[in-house]
Structure 1
Amino acid sequence: MTDFQHIAVPDVAAKQASMKIVDIRDRQSFANGHMPDALHLSNDNFAAFLEQTPKDMPVVVVCYHGISSQQAASLISQQGFEEVYSMDGGFEAWKLAQPVVTENT
């Protein structure tokens, strides 16, 4: 049994206002483009994320292609979160169909 679920890009797009999006890609990739309202999640802010995010808030983990997000989603779900998703296809799939935010660094 898995402790997280898979979710498709269109489903995230439809529900993202009620979800916490966490992007685990490297800082430079995140700065170059990420999903709207996504949090860049790293070892540096993981503890703060756990403290500040309600456990009943659905969490969607995003990586490059939807592979490493599965391990991170499993880890987050083990911290007591009720709904944790790994987004299939990752950010690469998102940017083909959805808006992307960039940061000027």
Structure 2
Amino acid sequence: MSYESLLAEQVPELLEQADVVVLDTRDAHSFAQGHLPNAKPADEANIARLIRGRNKAQPVLVYCYHGNSSRDLCRLLGGFGYTQVYNLEGGWQAWASYRDSCYATLTTEPCL
């Protein structure tokens, strides 16, 4: 496998890395309604820019609605030599549940 699955509760730690790239594969309307911090739409221009990039060790987090269709983009990026590619297991739905439960319980974990 050319990528790793990441649980929603692991995302805040990954997002602390300054050079992480976050790609949202959902449609534009869903992206506009909410997205992970610093996420970019996984459109053709952003994907092409990333593929042409020279830093293949740069961490990349990809997510979709439920964590399934984003796997294809993860495999593509791994095929282009990226060594730190992560798929958000459960996608936006898992992230929203994590975020909501994080705030509801006032946990000491970082909430974004």
- Change in 2 beyond 3 A, CA 1:9/1:22: same
SS at match of 1:61: strand
Structure of higher RCO (CA pairs closer than 8 Å, 6+ residues apart): 1
One-letter code aligned to 1:10? E
Q: Could you tell me the TM-score, scaled by structure 1's length?
A: 0.84
Structure 2: 5+ residue stretches without partners = 100-110
Moved more, 76-85 or 53-62: 53-62
Count of aligned pairs: 99
- Provide runs of 4+ in structure 1 moved above 3 Å: none
SS of structure 1 residue aligned to 2:38: coil
Give the superposed CA RMSD: 1.7
In structure 1, list runs of 5 or more residues that go unmatched.
101-105
Q: Partner residue of 2:12?
A: 13
SS at match of 1:21: strand
Task: Determine the C-alpha separation between the residues in 2 that align with 1:50 and 1:28.
Answer: 25
1:46 aligned residue: 47
State the identity %. Answer: 31
Rg (Cα) greater in structure: 2
User: TM-score, normalised to structure 2's length?
Assistant: 0.79
Q: CA–CA distance in 2 between the matches of 1:97 and 1:44?
A: 30
Structure 1 equivalent of residue 104 of structure 2: none
